[in-house]
Structure 1
């Protein structure tokens, strides 16, 4: 039954360490076709999250047009601009320098309405799922939508999600 986080989460979660370079993080994101990667310390404890947005943030307002151009290339499936790939290769920052922290998480027993509330209230796209303080999976918006689509047809009763 699809009624809690453990039932809908992605269990195979790729992660990086706090000392992972920007190039290594970009490689993990691209290789596994994911938009963010958890950052875990040597003990496997979740300490942060690095998203595509975190990698692109240095191109901020002063380079807004250039960033929009690069994002359009990525969205259209084109090769990345050489200037961008050169920048990433020469960037000596590490995950600890760009990661979002603290990370919004949920327990593996969180219900679908609770997951939905966390995602929408915090305007985030994914939730690392914890059991006894350890990350055991991740739930994305797409996972939640997929679970909702598999729910039984409406019987006329209103179900809050």
Structure 2
């Protein structure tokens, strides 16, 4: 069975907790991604998703006055390079996330997205399972 180190993206655009959220949005656009890790001294501090920018930044505050640490999701769910793709898929399903930061010895080493699983025929079943659980409709309140 494959491991995350076999499919993860290793060249990651990231910001520090002190960077402005404008920089985060620009990196998302430049790299065509929906999540930017927040890293300090190589260690993952949190993540900022496109949804975080909308809900915690634009909808609530003035975007240019905020730092990455103001809108990031702290203590994100992470995987490790030796984790199996099936384990990662289950973890992503359980936590309703589409992107999984990969950490080794406290250092950010990559990111695995549902798309990374889906483009490999070997792992497309895990990607489909994770995506179907992540994309469950919300219940009306």
Task: Output the TM-score relative to the length of structure 2.
Answer: 0.80
For 1:119, the equivalent position in structure 2 comes to 92
Note if 1:50 corresponds to 2:55.
Answer: no
For 1:45 and 1:117, how far apart are their aligned partners in 2?
24
Larger Rg: 1
Deviating 4+ runs (over 2 angstroms): none
Q: Aligned partners of 1:15 and 1:117: how far apart in 2?
A: 25
The CA deviation string for residues 93-132 of structure 1, in whole angstroms up to 9 with x for no partner, is 1100000011100110000110100110000011111121
Structure 2 residue 98 is matched with structure 1 residue 100: no
Mind listing any 5+ residue stretches in structure 1 that lack a counterpart? 63-86, 152-159
Question: Once superposed, what is the RMSD of the aligned Cα atoms?
Answer: 2.0
For the residue of structure 1 that corresponds to 2:110, the secondary structure is: strand
**Pairwise mapping of residues 1-161 of structure 1 onto structure 2 (< 5 A)?**
3-41=2-40, 43-58=41-56, 59-60=58-59, 88=63, 91-147=64-120, 149-150=121-122
The C-alpha deviation readout for 1:129-159, integer Å capped at 9, x for no partner, is 1121211110001111223x146xxxxxxxx
Q: Hey, what's the Cα distance between the residues in 2 that align with 1:107 and 1:7?
A: 11
Gaps of 5+ in 2: 124-128, 131-141
Structure 1 distance, partners of 2:38, 2:21, is: 12
Query: How high is the TM-score relative to the length of structure 1?
Result: 0.71
